[in-house]
């Protein structure tokens, strides 16, 4: 590796370096302790020094120095891990530089030329290099060590590295921690003791910061049941955040594709950098806080003061700028933030330079004044350019025209407040789409009603109107503590839909996608999928007692929203609980608004909740358990197993308490959820348990605890609800409320905010990331246990060996996914499939793993035998082998009887495994690497899709599952009878010759190789003589018939020759049955002993574990 020329002093360096070669201008040196004769005490000391110190010159075992005869100064210009690498550099210097140097007159000119040439080489290398870091030179040095120590595939992208201590037992090892895209690596070398650790991110169960008496602060990593601790980090928090991001990236990419595909910024694993991860994390935090669409990225941050008109003072905070939004969040504890869509901005004015202020003018005669903004002129220009790009033609008109248009709009909306949604760019909906909230249709408010509840409702509305007058209304409203206080007290019925849209950010989604919902409704109309079938089944189970869903109006609206969403997002499609949530949304929001609220909930606010494995809900339940341990220690002491609360609270999270609370109370919870996100649900869950703490502690079993909680939920009321009794009782399953003390929902929510309002959103997100690893790995472990339980009945492997085999199989599946964006295996992986089909190997993956595990080393990667084995065990010929099929093949070769092993080898040379004549063998040896299932194109009854992946089940939400096909497959498996040796077809001449070659390959390298070869030769000649005798005995009777019957298998495989040559060729053909081959080989004790020789499975699996990554690296 060429290095940036660096001056070094050689006075004390000769003790550590040995000169291997030199000339007038360059010196090639080897470090003591490396190469020939490099052991002994010197090697130990130098190796230790190289590991602890951070310098390439002290790590690379070879280097090249430049000097001039009349100078004592040396310059390091290259280093190398191997002698071959450094010799290449040395020869290049000899051929390209030495002749040129003789032209120069002075030493200074020579040194300047060499340095310029080396810098040019480095710059040229950097164009195609993976080094995209802030300090490329230092990163190049770290990359050199990383590649030397861990020997990972060249494509593996190093992200960053840190000096730290790794604790092995009670002894710390000082070394270097390397964090790459797919692996966590550590290396230490102290006085001959080498410690090397490689853990893939997808194997990590837990990642957390810990501290104890010995380790003040450390990072704890749990993988494969082993604990690893890293401490003495200069930047522990930074290190932990990067590790957390890489682990989360790996989990999303390999296990949770649905959420990963929503993040195009990190789609290419070869382009991941520390800077990129940090930027992505900041953008994610930015979008979460301000509830912005997933396409937004944080581009600029400016510290400034914002003039707050309702408080009459400047509040300190940060301006956050994205592609389409200008946001501000205070940092002085006032909890004030505001979101300004660029589409609402009509002008940006710069004030005097002394205050460095700028004023952002918006529609509706509103303006925000920012002051003390560093770079305010550049920021103003940026906002102007973004508004100019995104604005419609009329926005580029003169200032006066804009103001006139805004004023006319304001006057219109004052006269017609119901049309306020037009301000966010709502397109006229289709006539088939309902344009009114169902509550407005089925329970219109009576203005003249003077009942106390209605008067209180009017007072709430008045409070919100005052709030709007002070803090603004619509997308650019100020969010403050007062906003939260009003939310806790309850949102008035008339404003609920508008505020839900605002707080969730759905108002921005709808504004930027006008007409999208109507298009989806039209496109999905009449479609029939698995999702639509499930939707139809659940339509009448959604708030069935509410009048709105006892009529076709409500049912049709619900059907349209759910079907449109399933069409929009087929990865989620439709899941239970979505119908309940959507029903409530339709009560208070117009149909299109309800759709965008559903989008906001499913894709932003509750990520991964509504899929087959409900990962998001399980993660939040784990977060809830952590909060119970922290806030309710008395409950933890009484109930040590908190998994009970996970099972009970699942419906709380999935339906936002709608399924357990009366509808009039549940909507208050939904109010808080749209404002505060999942934090509101966690707080309320803690408040519920706290309220029932005494009863829960005294209960004897889980059933009693469930009864207590159910009675409590039935007793929750909303004393301020203006809804009629028929509606209020709609979602209550138990009408026996009178016997229990009623609890007001507003009081319960207020208590939740008072007691547990200190829970920070940042802490919740951090806990989510930490628990997600454990939840995913628990689900993966469940899959593994179920697969092993099925397979163990079919094979003789022990449970521990099957466990190791499964880990190898799964890692092989992932190895092709680590360094590519769209590997067929990754595209095919679907957690919703049956356990056995979740992880499968294509041919290239199978070939690599099988060559490591098969017992006789007869299947190398270039041999066609791997292809034949793959075809043989791929029973359904889908181009993918599952774990059961893989284990069956290995079990036969490891533990099968002599007859079964021979039968396996015999069938390798029959269709569908062996399909070619000698002329085709060359073609079969050439297996394309690019497509895992490319070899299947040679099979006649096979159609490959464009991506090379054969999907066993249709994409959810798009197609129906063919249940008849599954039933037929199961029936076939049940009725399948045990194959006897008489059922095996005969082997023809071509196949038998190849079978003999396979036996020779198997015996190659064995101590008894010559004896085994002679045995095979003897058996072959014996079989040929037997066939010749049989042919002569049959000749008088009917030669043509015997020939035809003997050649039936061959005729199916080979092209028909011309008619004239056909007779001669047919007479030459012969074939053998499996019984003949078996009987002949049983008479050779050497062959029998060879095949019955036991295989050390444990050793074989251990060797495969070590070699698996190296095999990929060598490729």
User: Where residue 591 falls among pLDDT bands split at 50, 70, 90?
Assistant: very high
pLDDT greater than 90 at residue 899 = yes
pLDDT greater than 50 at residue 804 = yes
How far is CA 43 from each of CA 18, 92, 148, 1004, rounded to the nearest angstrom? Answer: 13, 30, 17, 40
| Residues constituting the chain | 1115
Average of pLDDT values for 877-897?
91
Name the residue with higher pLDDT: 62 or 59. Answer: 62
Strands 171-180 and 183-190: antiparallel
Average of pLDDT values for 636-658?
85
CA 810 to chain centre: 15
C-alpha–C-alpha distance, residues 586 and 595, integer Å = 9
Query: At 177, is the secondary structure helix, strand, or coil?
Result: strand
C-alpha–C-alpha distance, residues 1013 and 1007, integer Å = 12
Name the residue with higher pLDDT: 132 or 659. Answer: 659
- Min mean pLDDT across 26-30, 305-309, 592-596, 637-641 is at 637-641
- What is the percentage of the chain residues whose pLDDT exceeds 90? 33
pLDDT greater than 50 at residue 539 = yes
Other Cβ atoms within 10 Å of 753 Cβ, number: 20
- Min mean pLDDT across 494-498, 502-506, 664-668, 835-839 is at 835-839
Exposure of 1058 by Cβ count < 10 A (0-12 exposed, 13-18 middle, 19+ buried)?
A: exposed
Strand intervals (E) in 605-652: none
User: Where residue 1060 falls among pLDDT bands split at 50, 70, 90?
Assistant: very low
Helix and strand totals (H; E) in the chain: 47, 26
Name the residue with higher pLDDT: 559 or 127. Answer: 559
Average of pLDDT values for 565-585?
90
pLDDT of residue 404: 52
Average of pLDDT values for 295-307?
91
- Min mean pLDDT across 46-55, 468-477, 764-773 is at 46-55
- For the stretch 988-1002, pLDDT in tens is 888 998 999 999 888
Query: Please, what's the largest Cα pairwise distance for the chain?
Result: 118
pLDDT of residue 262: 52
Residue 765 · residue 787 · CB < 8 Å = no
The closest of 863, 868, 993, 884 to 939, measured between CA atoms, is 868
Q: What angle do CA 95, 101, 102 make, to 5 degrees?
A: 105
Strands 743-744 and 840-841: unpaired
pLDDT greater than 80 at residue 506 = yes
For residue 527, give every residue at least 6 positions away whose Cβ sits within 8 Å of its Cβ, in sequence order, or none. 563, 567
Which residues are bridge partners to 929 per DSSP? none
Average of pLDDT values for 470-474?
89
User: Where residue 376 falls among pLDDT bands split at 50, 70, 90?
Assistant: confident
Other Cβ atoms within 10 Å of 9 Cβ, number: 9
pLDDT of residue 43: 58
pLDDT greater than 60 at residue 735 = no
- Return the top range by mean pLDDT from 438-452, 610-624, 738-752: 610-624
Average of pLDDT values for 190-216?
84
pLDDT of residue 257: 58
How far is CA 674 from each of CA 484, 487, 597, 614, 1086, rounded to the nearest angstrom? Answer: 11, 10, 9, 20, 77
pLDDT of residue 508: 92
pLDDT of residue 983: 80
Helix or strand (DSSP H, E) at 168: strand 158-168
Query: At 831, is the secondary structure helix, strand, or coil?
Result: coil
User: Where residue 1115 falls among pLDDT bands split at 50, 70, 90?
Assistant: low
pLDDT of residue 580: 92
Which residues are bridge partners to 12 per DSSP? none
Residue 133 · residue 275 · CB < 8 Å = yes
User: Where residue 1067 falls among pLDDT bands split at 50, 70, 90?
Assistant: very low
The closest of 855, 790, 857 to 1101, measured between CA atoms, is 855
pLDDT greater than 90 at residue 589 = yes
- For the stretch 213-244, pLDDT in tens is 666 789 999 998 899 999 888 888 999 999 99
pLDDT greater than 90 at residue 123 = no
> Within 97-198, where are the H helices?
98-101, 107-128, 136-150
- For the stretch 428-444, pLDDT in tens is 434 456 678 888 787 77
Residue 870 · residue 847 · CB < 8 Å = yes
pLDDT of residue 179: 94
């Amino acid at each position: 590796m060429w290095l940036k020329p660096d001056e070094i002093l050689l006075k004390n360096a000769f003790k550590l370096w040995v000169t291997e070669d030199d000339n007038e201008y360059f010196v090639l040196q080897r470090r003591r302790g490396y190469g020939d004769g490099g052991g002994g005490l010197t090697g130990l000391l130098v190796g230790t020094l190289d590991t602890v110190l951070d310098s390439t010159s002290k790590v690379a075992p070879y280097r090249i120095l430049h000097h001039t005869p009349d100078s004592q100064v040396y310059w390091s210009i290259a280093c190398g891990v191997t002698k071959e690498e450094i010799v290449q550099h040395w020869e290049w210097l000899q051929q390209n530089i030495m002749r040129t140097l003789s032209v120069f007159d002075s030493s200074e000119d020579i040194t300047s030329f060499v340095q310029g040439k080396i810098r040019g080489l480095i710059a040229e290398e950097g164009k195609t290099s993976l080094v995209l870091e802030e300090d490329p030179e230092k990163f190049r040095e770290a990359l050199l060590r990383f590649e030397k120590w861990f020997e990972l595939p060249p494509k593996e992208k190093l992200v960053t590295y840190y000096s730290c201590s790794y604790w092995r037992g009670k002894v710390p090892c000082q070394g270097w921690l390397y964090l790459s895209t797919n692996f966590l690596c550590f290396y230490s070398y102290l006085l001959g003791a080498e410690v090397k650790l490689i853990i893939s991110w997808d194997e990590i169960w837990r990642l957390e910061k810990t501290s104890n008496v010995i380790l003040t602060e450390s990072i704890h990593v749990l993988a494969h049941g082993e604990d690893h601790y890293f401490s003495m980090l200069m930047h522990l928090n930074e290190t932990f955040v990067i590790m957390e991001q890489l682990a989360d990236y790996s989990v999303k990419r390999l296990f949770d594709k649905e959420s990963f595909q929503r993040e195009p910024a990190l789609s290419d694993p070869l382009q991941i950098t520390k800077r990129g991860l940090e930027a992505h994390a900041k953008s994610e935090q930015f979008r979460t806080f301000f509830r912005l669409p997933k396409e937004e990225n944080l581009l600029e941050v400016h510290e400034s003061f914002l003039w707050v008109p309702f408080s009459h003072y400047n509040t300190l905070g940060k301006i956050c700028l994205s592609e389409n939004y200008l946001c501000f969040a205070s940092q002085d504890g006032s909890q004030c933030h505001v979101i300004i869509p660029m589409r609402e901005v009509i002008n940006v004015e710069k004030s005097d330079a002394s205050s460095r202020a700028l004023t952002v003018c918006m529609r509706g005669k509103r303006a925000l004044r920012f002051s003390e903004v560093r770079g305010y002129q550049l920021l103003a220009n940026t906002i102007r350019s973004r508004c100019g790009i995104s604005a419609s033609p009329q926005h580029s008109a003169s200032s006066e025209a804009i103001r006139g248009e805004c004023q006319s709009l304001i006057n219109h909306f004052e006269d017609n407040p119901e049309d306020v949604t037009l301000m966010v760019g709502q397109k006229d909906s289709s006539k088939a789409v309902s344009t009114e909230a169902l509550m407005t249709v089925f329970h219109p408010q009576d203005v003249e009603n003077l009942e106390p509840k209605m008067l209180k409702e009017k007072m709430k509305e008045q409070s919100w109107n005052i709030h709007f007058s002070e803090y603004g209304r619509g997308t650019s409203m100020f969010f403050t503590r007062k906003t939260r206080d009003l939310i806790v007290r309850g949102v008035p019925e008339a404003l609920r839909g508008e505020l839900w849209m605002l707080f969730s950010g759905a108002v921005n989604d709808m504004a930027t996608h006008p007409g999208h919902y109507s298009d989806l409704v039209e496109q999905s109309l009449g479609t029939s999928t698995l999702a639509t079938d499930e939707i139809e089944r659940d339509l009448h189970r959604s708030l069935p007692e509410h009048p709105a869903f006892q009529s076709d109006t409500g049912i049709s609206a619900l059907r349209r929203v759910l079907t449109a969403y399933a069409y929009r997002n087929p990865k989620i499609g439709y899941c239970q609980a979505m119908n309940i949530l959507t029903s409530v949304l339709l009560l208070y929001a117009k149909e299109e608004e309800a759709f965008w609220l559903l989008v906001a909930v499913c894709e932003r606010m509750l990520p991964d909740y509504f899929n087959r494995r409900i990962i998001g809900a399980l993660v939040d339940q784990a977060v809830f358990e952590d909060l119970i341990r922290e806030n309710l220690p008395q409950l933890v002491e009484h109930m040590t197993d908190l998994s009970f609360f996970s099972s009970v609270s699942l419906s709380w999270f999935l339906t936002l308490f709608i399924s357990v609370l009366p509808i009039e109370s549940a909507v208050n919870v939904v109010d808080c959820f749209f404002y505060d996100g999942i934090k509101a649900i966690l707080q309320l869950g803690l408040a519920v348990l706290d309220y029932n703490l005494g009863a829960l502690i005294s209960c004897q079993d889980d059933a009693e605890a469930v009864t207590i909680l159910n009675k409590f939920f039935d007793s929750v009321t909303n004393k301020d609800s203006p809804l009629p009794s028929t509606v209020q009782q709609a979602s209550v399953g138990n009408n026996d409320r009178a016997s229990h003390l009623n609890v007001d929902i507003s009081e319960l929510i207020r208590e939740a905010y008072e007691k547990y309002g200190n829970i920070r959103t940042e802490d919740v997100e951090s806990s989510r990331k930490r628990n997600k690893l454990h939840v995913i790995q628990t689900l993966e472990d469940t899959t593994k246990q179920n697969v092993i339980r099925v397979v163990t009945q079919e094979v003789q492997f022990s449970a521990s060996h099957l466990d190791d085999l499964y880990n190898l199989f799964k890692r092989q599946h992932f190895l092709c996914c680590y360094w590519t964006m769209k590997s067929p295996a990754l595209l095919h992986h679907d957690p919703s499939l049956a356990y056995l089909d979740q992880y499968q190997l294509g041919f290239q993956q199978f070939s690599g793993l099988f060559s490591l595990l098969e017992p006789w080393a007869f299947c190398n990667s270039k041999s066609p035998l791997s292809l034949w084995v793959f075809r043989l065990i791929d029973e359904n010929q889908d181009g993918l082998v599952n774990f059961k099929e893989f284990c069956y093949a290995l079990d036969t070769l490891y533990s099968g009887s002599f007859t079964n092993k021979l039968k396996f080898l015999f069938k390798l040379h029959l269709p569908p495994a062996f399909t070619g004549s000698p002329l085709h063998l060359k073609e079969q040896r050439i297996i394309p690497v690019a497509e895992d299932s490319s070899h299947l194109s040679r099979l006649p009854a096979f159609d490959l899709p464009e991506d090379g992946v054969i999907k066993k089940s249709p994409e959810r939400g798009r197609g129906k599952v063919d249940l008849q096909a599954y039933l037929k497959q199961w029936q076939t498996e049940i009725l399948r009878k045990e194959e006897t040796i008489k059922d095996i077809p005969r082997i023809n001449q071509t196949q038998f010759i190849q079978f003999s070659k396979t036996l020779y390959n198997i015996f190659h390298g064995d101590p008894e190789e010559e004896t085994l070869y002679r045995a095979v030769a003897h058996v072959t000649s014996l079989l040929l003589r037997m066939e010749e005798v049989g042919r002569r005995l049959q000749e008088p009777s009917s030669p043509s018939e015997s020939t035809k019957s003997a050649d039936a298998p061959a005729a199916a495989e080979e092209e028909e020759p011309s008619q004239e040559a056909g007779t001669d060729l047919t007479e030459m053909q012969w074939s053998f049955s499996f019984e003949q081959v078996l009987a002949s080989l049983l008479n050779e004790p050497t062959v029998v002993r060879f095949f019955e020789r036991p295989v050390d499975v444990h050793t074989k699996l251990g060797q495969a574990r070590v070699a698996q990554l190296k095999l990929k690296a060598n490729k």
